[in-house]
Amino acid sequence: MIFHRFGAVVGLMMAALLSVPAAHADQHQQMAQKAAPAADAPAMKDKSKSHEEEKTDPTAGAHAPVVFTLRTGIAEGRMVYIGVGGDIDHKINPTLVVHEGETVQVNLVNGEGAQHDVVVDQYAARSAIVNGKNASSTFSFVASKVGEFNYYCSIAGHRQAGMEGNIQVLPGNRAEMKSSGADITRDPADLPGPIGPRQAKTVRIDLETVEVKGQLDDNTTYTYWTFNGKVPGPFLRVRVGDTVELHLKNHKDSLMVHSVDFHGATGPGGAAAFTQTDPGEETVVTFKALIPGIYVYHCATPSVPTHITNGMYGLLLVEPEGGLPQVDREFYVMQGEIYTVKSFGTSGEQEMDYEKLINEKPEYFLFNGSVGSLTRSHPLYASVGETVRIFFGVGGPNFTSSFHVIGEIFDHVYSLGSVVSPPLIGVQTVSVPPGGATIVDFKIDRAGRYILVDHALSRLEHGLVGFLNVDGPKNDSIMHEGPAKQ
């Protein structure tokens, strides 16, 4: 069973988009901070929600469902459900543990060809009947009742033959459980404001490489290698013509040598040749910001993909003279992969699997470093009428992203990160390669929840999802439930 602990799936996406209960889903399923345009004005968040929104939004406070996959089979001479992956991998009729109020998704896969289903009476929830080997069905429900409940196969005789297990619903919010690792997630609103019109000057940038045990998922930790303790590293902002004086310090407790390669710098290794830095040491390099654009930076110490997958990447914006067109709100989002020995959702401390890394078989696809980073921990906030800009990059190290915001169309896309070429207009999805970046702008015309995804949508099941929560009027002339109004 793939226990995708809070793995993002289409069931919750549909609930979030449509504001309808998720139970019986037989399909693969806050007010904003007022961003200041001035460079020195801090962005503020007002995460309150209207009374009406609280009543109608069943996903309030949730960031993605708890996902279980059950495969039917024969074990110990009886018909059973077998868990696949995570904490319940290979377990027979595993106990599915969730918390009160969580959305639960159950994926059923037919393992041997006979007819089967899964039923949970207490939630009036059930899968479709799967008939034929490898056939599958999905259903979901909200765990609104605390206690232990049975799930079973309703095909005549199958429950008696062994196809029965328990769902345990624990009281309290999982998010309030004590974390065992540091919060390494970079808040997408954590970026400096626009530079605007000024003369070129010398800009000092200080980066520190820090190795830290961080929270990968609710019950999962991982040792990240970071710039300044967060993933991605800090958003760096200069203007064309600036002279950048970079100080790279490697924390004394680090075990590894680290460095930095700026894709926006011209010179040996993008500065990596001068910044191979031992633990406890500091290096300095100076370069000229020659060409405007949005650029990735990353560690470039062998094995380079190891340093990148562990979290050592970020973005450098070199503004054109006079700056970019003004918007109301800016966000900073990066996508990466993590390759762990154990499968996605496994509790405890995860370790990197070098063979999976080299063979490009990640367990996790993530925005800003962790599962739930842009849903539960740091969702994006905006208001109707505002123009939003997202600086989006791919640390990788291996996979291209098809970046998409469900329910929005990008008004402007700075293709391949170029800010000297005219932006594309009216774009649905933008392709960003590993080590690449882009800038997308769009005006928000209707309130609701908009979902950030990589449109290689299977990656939703590996943690890759974000929320943009928009407060304001729900403009029915743009979209409303039901037939057209006369």
Q: Is 261 annotated as a binding residue?
A: yes
Nearest to 207 by CA among 184, 239, 240, 229: 229
Residues of the chain with pLDDT under 70: 1-64, 175-179
479 annotated to a ligand binding site = no
Question: Is 263 annotated among the ligand-binding residues?
Answer: yes
Q: Can you give the residue ranges of every domain in the chain?
A: 1-177, 179-486
- List, in sequence order, every residue forming a beta bridge with 150; answer none if it has no partner: 166
136: helix, strand or coil: strand
- Residues 417 and 437: their CA atoms lie apart, in Å, by 5
Other C-beta atoms closer than 10 Å to the C-beta of 363 total 21
Q: What pLDDT does residue 265 have?
A: 97
CA 451 to chain centre: 10
**Residue 455 is assigned to a ligand binding site:** yes
Rounded to whole angstroms, how far apart are CA atoms 11 and 22?
A: 7
Task: Count the alpha carbons within 13 Å of 218 in the hemisphere toward its beta carbon.
Answer: 23
C-beta separation of 213 from 256 below 8 A? no
Architecture of the CATH domain 179-486:
Sandwich (2.60)
pLDDT of residue 85: 83
To the question of whether residue 480 is assigned a binding role by annotation, the answer is: no
pLDDT of residue 485: 82
Q: Which two tokens stand for residue 69?
A: 């996959």
The strand pairing partners of 81, in sequence order, are 72
Nearest CA to 24 among 177, 187, 141, 142? 141
pLDDT at 178: 55
Q: How far apart are CA 335 and CA 416, in angstroms?
A: 15
Q: Tell me the three state secondary structure of residue 457.
A: helix
pLDDT at 176: 62
Distance of CA 116 to the CA centre of its chain: 34
Token pair belonging to 3: 């226990």
| pLDDT given at position 147 | 85
Give the model's pLDDT for residue 175.
63
Say which CATH class 1-177 falls into: mainly beta
* Closest to 120 in 3D by CA, of 205, 184, 24: 24
Residues 6+ apart with CB under 8 A from 141: 22, 23, 24, 103, 104, 120, 123, 124, 125
Question: Is position 4 annotated in a ligand binding site?
Answer: no
51 is in an annotated binding site: no
Give me the amino acid identity at 139.
F
**Rounded to an integer, what distance in angstroms lies between the CA atom of residue 366 and that of residue 218?**
14
Contact present, 140 and 25 (Cβ < 8 Å): yes
* Residue whose pair of structure tokens reads 């595993």 in the numeric block: 94
Same fold: 1-177 with 179-486: yes
- What is the pTM for the complete model shown? 0.74
